[in-house]
Amino acid sequence: MKRHLTFILVFLCASLSAQNINDVLRYGTENIQGTARFQSMGGAFGALGGDLSALNINPAGAAVFNNTLITFSGTYVNTDNEVNYFGTQTNSNINDTKINQIGGVFVFNNTNSNSDWKKFSLAFNYDLTRNFENNYLISGRSNQGVDSYFLNFADGVPVGDIQTLDGELIENAYLDIGANQGFGNQQAFLGFQAFLIDPVVADDPQNTQYVSNASYIDVDQRLQRSSIGYNSKFTANIASEYKDKLYLGTSLNFHSVFNERVDRLTETGYDADSEIQRTTFDNLLVTEGNGFSFTLGAIAKLNEFVRLGGSYQSPTWYRLNDNLSQRINSNLAPEDITFIDFNIVNLFETYTIQTPSKLTGSLALIFGKNGLLSFDYGYQDFSNAKLRPSSDPSFQTVNSDIANQLGAVSTFRFGGEYRIAQVSLRAGYRFEQSPYANTETIGDLNSISGGIGYNFGGNRLDFSLNRIDQQINEQLLDTGLITPATINRIRTNATLSYTINF
């Protein structure tokens, strides 16, 4: 009798197909929610400082604080996905609430009146840089079936390599093929064992070609894609003020990643005489890891009205681990195919993502106690991103794709604040270019924001509303089903922050 394996780990030498350009962008781009004041002004704080989330733009901003304080923020996030796949449109909506920021700064004034260094500050801050909480449906009638995914992996693979041995459990064969032959042969095994594909009769056994058992012109596909997780950043900062004219600062940033994505794909609607009439193919991918980066920055007060800022953010070096679980079924598959399920886990070798460095230049105009205007420009070249180990042939291919398909990203941030007694009115705008040279795979990002703050004399309460709009073309699978779904994604953040001064 077949036995069910509850949990098996296996190291795969070959790269997981999910390790690609998408990973670089998923972990290399930041969409910092931050404090309510930071959000409401579009994040344009590079020459301003005086806000804990501003340390993500320019670490010199910590020296702008005049006293010790603590700020914590909570955000309600609404994500709306409008999906179009082969002319069929679906809509999904998801809500989430998180504590997205908490931090504090300690300000130490120099008691030596003869020193040019007026004060220094120590700051510690936690920010949610990316929220992976999402859930949406891709549904439509496609001219590409899931069989093409397995055919792409199978062609050329000797059929003997993807067969179970006499008396071998199917789940053991699945894990053994993955561990010794790699991810591609493991996927070919799934398609073959589910009878989606078969070897060509009398074909070369050492270079086997395969055909599909599915007959169709078009097929009905339904993919439910859901994800949870976060990319967070903990910042330790030191900054100082020199001669009331110059602020200097540096930060060490410690990143933490957790991302769990579940894909549930169902395919029906084949021709009436097709051997295959129903296919399901599900994937559960979990990514965990950490990263490190550092930031250097300066803010210069040209006079009482004008400030200039500049900062350098190093590459972020992530060390990540993936584990993958799969399950497949069809109307032709044997019963024991169900023994390959989400309890069978493939654990992949640790890999590294190096995201590109970033330069930011900033300008702020200060109108005394009445208000301010601020502008940031950021530059980041994603063609310089890398996956390692570079000796891995799959990573070499991905790095070549990165260099050819990705390019430089310019980011523009504008923000303004107008004060009326104890009330502050704020507004902001952010524009970020697509990281893709074709500007289609991921479109430009646009964000508008507004907010209000009230100063109680010592403490402060701030509220912001922020809308982020971006179009994404997303494939159902990494290969085979190449026609993407078009997703118009709108995220709306409502953030409340409270600041306690000491």
pLDDT for residue 355 is more than 60 = yes
pLDDT for residue 101 is more than 70 = yes
How many Å apart are CA 32 and CA 30, to the nearest integer? 6
Q: Which among 376, 367, 243, 245 is positioned nearest to 305, based on CA atoms? A: 367
In a domain, 474, yes or no: yes
The tokens of 66 are what? 């005049």
pLDDT of residue 478: 84
Q: What is the dihedral of CA 216, 222, 130, 416, to 10 degrees?
A: 100
Pairing mode, strands 69-85 and 88-109: antiparallel
How many Å apart are CA 148 and CA 153, to the nearest integer? 9
In a domain, 224, yes or no: no
pLDDT of residue 10: 52
How many Å apart are CA 30 and CA 43, to the nearest integer? 12
35-85 pLDDT tens trace: 999 999 999 999 999 999 999 999 999 999 999 999 999 999 999 999 999
How confident is the prediction for the chain on average, in pLDDT?
A: 92
46: amino acid identity, one letter? G
Q: Which among 105, 22, 7, 95 is positioned nearest to 473, based on CA atoms? A: 22
How many Å apart are CA 336 and CA 3, to the nearest integer? 9
Q: Please give the DSSP secondary-structure letter assigned to residue 2.
A: -
In a domain, 222, yes or no: no
How many Å apart are CA 185 and CA 131, to the nearest integer? 34
117/246 same-domain check: yes
217: amino acid identity, one letter? I
**pLDDT more than 70, % of the chain:** 96
Tell me, rounded to whole angstroms, the distance of Cα 84 from its chain centroid.
Answer: 22
In a domain, 228, yes or no: no
pLDDT of residue 272: 95
8 falls in which pLDDT band (50, 70, 90)?
low
In a domain, 268, yes or no: no
**pLDDT more than 90, % of the chain:** 82
429/299 same-domain check: yes
**CB distance 459 to 491 below 8 Å:** no
How far CA 72 is from CA of 52, 76, 198, 271, 342, in Å, comes to: 10, 14, 59, 58, 38
pLDDT for residue 3 is more than 60 = no
34/182 same-domain check: no
pLDDT of residue 480: 80
374/494 same-domain check: yes
**CB distance 342 to 323 below 8 Å:** no
In a domain, 218, yes or no: no
49/166 same-domain check: no
pLDDT of residue 283: 96
Greater model confidence, 330 or 31: 330
259-310 pLDDT tens trace: 999 999 999 999 999 999 999 999 999 999 999 999 999 999 999 999 999 9
In a domain, 269, yes or no: no
424/316 same-domain check: yes
Beta partners for residue 46, in sequence order: none
303-353 pLDDT tens trace: 999 999 999 999 999 999 999 999 999 999 999 999 999 999 999 889 999
Q: Please give the DSSP secondary-structure letter assigned to residue 442.
A: B
183/119 same-domain check: no
445/319 same-domain check: yes
The tokens of 185 are what? 């042969």
387-430 pLDDT tens trace: 988 777 778 888 998 999 999 999 999 999 999 999 999 999 99
Half-sphere exposure (Cβ direction) of 69: Cα atoms closer than 13 Å: 19
**CB distance 293 to 257 below 8 Å:** no
24/151 same-domain check: no
How many Å apart are CA 227 and CA 311, to the nearest integer? 33
Domain of 103: which CATH number? 2.40.160.60
pLDDT for residue 5 is more than 50 = no
137-147 pLDDT tens trace: 999 999 999 99
20 falls in which pLDDT band (50, 70, 90)?
confident
pLDDT for residue 450 is more than 70 = yes
400/251 same-domain check: yes
The tokens of 486 are what? 């078009």
17/166 same-domain check: no
Query: 6-15, 38-47, 254-263, 476-485: lowest mean pLDDT where?
Result: 6-15
**CB distance 278 to 219 below 8 Å:** no
Mean of pLDDT values over 88-104: 95
Number of domains in the chain: 2
Residue-range definition of the domain harbouring residue 488: 11-133+233-260+287-501
Query: 236-245, 353-362, 372-381, 436-445: lowest mean pLDDT where?
Result: 436-445
pLDDT of residue 390: 73
113/238 same-domain check: yes
pLDDT of residue 490: 97
How far CA 202 is from CA of 179, 198, 210, in Å, comes to: 29, 12, 11
In a domain, 452, yes or no: yes
173-208 pLDDT tens trace: 999 999 999 999 999 999 999 999 999 876 677 788
481 falls in which pLDDT band (50, 70, 90)?
confident
